[in-house]
Amino acid sequence: MKSLLLTNEFPPHIYGGAGIHVQYLSRELAKLCDVEVRCFGDQEANGENPVVHGTLASTETYTAPKSLHSVFAALQNCLDFNTQNIDADVVHLHTWYSHLGGILAHLNYGLPMVLTVHSLEPLRPWKREQLGGGYDFSLWLEKTAIEMSDAVIAVSKETKEDILRLFDVPEEKVPVIYNGIDPDEYVPTHSPETLRKFGIDPEKPFVLFVGRITRQKGIIHLVNAIQHLDPGTQVVLCAGAPDTPEIAAEMKTAVNSVQEKFDGSIIWIQEMISTPDKIALYSHARVFCCPSIYEPFGIINLEAMACETPVVASQVGGMKEIVLPGETGTLVPLEQQTESPFEATEPETFAADLAEALNELIRDPSRCEAMGRAGRERVLSTFSWAEIARETLGLYEKISRT
């Protein structure tokens, strides 16, 4: 069995959970079968398992609107994926950016096609702000790929329900296979010098956010909650890679505004940080906050839990299957979103509820320690990449026989 994984993100060019998923899945699959990864970028690894080939379309000659450049570049990369001979037994797609590549491999090379749903375009209407008319194309491409796939992997039970509700796919073609974590890499790490490097006081508790500046991650709700946090609290926003300049400007304005009325400190780390630094931040945080308004799974919550840090998250998507309220953290209800994706129907209420949940844990370090230990135990028992790879290989073998 040889698997071909098609993806936008792959190390060292990773900015989201889908890239982390492919990074670790490919590593574990390579212990069980031959694996090749074709991705966007300049990555190249021959004579190894997994084999890695990057391709990078040039947009220098594009005269189309700027919002469409990433769309057309993705399509060119997908063509390049296929002009180089494919000798795999199955093709496995990750995010809509790679879907055309999978369709071409499926039709031209006759390969069974698997697609992992990391998020669903119909549930991310704010992407129109980033892609313009390209969002209509991504909607069509995702629907086409999902409905012609031999199997569609959902990363959570709620994601499976969304797939069955939104697309014409038989239920038996939609298995649930969770994301995972490497518990040998993500371990509690004592490194106060890392905190000092980023301007964080190791002697004071802090709330940590890790994620991109995007509508989906709900970071604005956390920023709005800061004014309600106990005096003296530190808030560390490890947040970069904004979807658009407009979102970046909104974020900057919001942070500056709340800083003026907050009797604490906000440390905003805008550059991408190394994994060891990220692990140190997780490990020292009193609590990790994930205020996403849409989150099919949420690998970052596993990362925090593996580092023995409790999680306060919005009660949406796969996070309801990760966080055990009262045991490993707290889930905060989020009302139905409006058409404006930076808002909930009651954004002020949600921000206040978020702050209340954070304050409750910040004030109780012994409870946080107990939740942290329970969180790591849950990660070890339920979210292993080795088991996920075995389940994925079993799915490959199943669809290859039909």
Q: What is the CATH number of domain 192-382?
A: 3.40.50.2000
Give the pLDDT score at 242: 85
Cα torsion 355, 380, 238, 236: sign? positive
Dist CA 266 CA 206 (whole Å): 9
Q: What angle do CA 133, 108, 67 make, to 5 degrees?
A: 15
Pairing mode, if any, of strands 44-45 and 2-7? unpaired
Packing angle between helix 99-108 and helix 69-83, nearest 10 degrees? 30
Q: Provide the 10 A C-beta neighbour count for residue 363.
A: 12
Give the pLDDT score at 241: 82
Q: Which CATH architecture has domain 2-180+384-401?
A: 3-Layer(aba) Sandwich (3.40)
Give the pLDDT score at 344: 42
Domain regions of the chain by residue span: 2-180+384-401, 192-382
- Residue 24 · residue 11 · CB < 8 Å: no
What is the model's pTM? 0.84
Dist CA 207 CA 235 (whole Å): 5
Same fold, 2-180+384-401 and 192-382: yes
Count the residues in the chain. 402
- Please, what is the end-to-end C-alpha distance for the chain in angstroms? 15
Give the pLDDT score at 339: 44
- Residue 255 · residue 249 · CB < 8 Å: no
Which residues of the chain register pLDDT less than 70?
Answer: 335-347
Give the pLDDT score at 15: 82
Packing angle between helix 99-108 and helix 134-148, nearest 10 degrees? 40
**Tell me: the pLDDT tens digits for 312-344?**
999 998 999 999 999 999 999 986 544 444 444
